[in-house]
Structure 1
Amino acid sequence: MRGNAQGLTKRQLLPATTVSRSRELRQNAGEPERQLWRALRETLPNAKFRRQVPIGPYHVDFCSHAARLIIEIEGDDHATKQGSDASRTCFLEHEGYDVIRFANADVMQNLDGVVTAIGARVAHMQKGRP
């Protein structure tokens, strides 16, 4: 049986505003997110990353369900939200995802290095899978 006792999937159980919120976040993405999105699509197309994916109560910046990998791009304000980031990461890891974080500055100044690190993590996560 797919889904819960009523046959509803996690996606169907999301609040009605989730899809519009995801769309809004994609349309208002910052420059680091836009650059990383382009790089991921060009460099790692088989990882099939999606952006602004709702998982539980959170929207994650980038997610590859196949690799069970989440990428978060952190702005300057994340330094003051380490407690909430820790609980968010705990929830996402409990859902079976590996979470890696990069600062905006890392993406803007060293995009190739960030993509290389992500590619290595994708390869590691998919290792042993057919």
Structure 2
Amino acid sequence: MLSASDAAFKVAKRERRSGNLPEVLIWRELRKRPGGFKFRRQHPIGSFVLDFACLERRLGIEIDGTAHDRGDRPERDKRRDDELKRRGFRVLRIPARDVLVDLDAAIRGIVAACDDQSPLHHQPLAGGPPPRSGEVF
């Protein structure tokens, strides 16, 4: 089960109300379920809040502005990504400027990352074991 801290829920709620232009543009497209994938916006996991998440594929999407290139942010982002990886999530980082330059390419990249990630639940194999009694009429 995925859990989050109370502080993460509060941050997620506040962030859903705001949003910078690249995140707003991405969300406008992700709401259309590209590739058939469902996405969540400002999704809390543990003490972190992902910009976007595809829970079915355990993929977190972060839209990074220029602040992520300065100071200790690269190290903090790496520690954050490592913790999310331990929780079973892969993190895709997209520079905000890439979203502004070519939104369609960013969406294609997200869908491709979802396609590359194994689904959380697999469909039963054809010819697998028969259903248990009571499951078929």
Question: Could you say whether these structures have the same fold, taking a TM-score greater than 0.5 normalized by the shorter chain as the test?
Answer: yes
Aligned equivalents of 2:33, 2:102: Cα separation in 1: 15
* Alignment correspondent of 1:6: none
Say if 2:84 and 2:91, in contact at 8 Å, map to a contact too: yes
Which of 113, 120, 124 is the matching residue for 2:112?
A: 120
Normalized against structure 1, the TM-score is what?
Answer: 0.83
Native 8 Å contact 2:34 2:111 kept in 1: yes
For CA contacts below 8 A with separation 6 or more, give which structure has more relative contact order. Answer: 2
State how many pairs are aligned: 120
After TM superposition, the structure 1 = structure 2 runs for residues 1-130 of structure 1, keeping only pairs within 5 Å, are: 10-11=3-4, 14-15=5-6, 17-44=7-34, 46-80=36-70, 81-126=73-118, 129-130=122-123
**Cα shift readout 1:57-80 (whole Å, capped 9, x = no counterpart):** 111100011011000000110002
**Residues 8, 47 of structure 2: 8 Å contact kept:** no
Q: Deviations over 1:30-66 (max 9, x none)?
A: 0100000011122527321101111111111000110
Q: CA deviation at 1:129?
A: 3.2
Higher alpha-carbon deviation: 37-46 or 48-57: 37-46
Contact 2:59 2:114 in 1 (8 A): yes
Name stretches of at least 5 consecutive residues in structure 2 with no aligned partner.
Answer: 124-137
Does the aligned pair in 1 maintain the 2:58–2:89 contact within 8 Å? yes
Counterpart secondary structure, 2:49: strand
TM-score, length basis structure 2 = 0.79
Bigger Cα Rg? 2
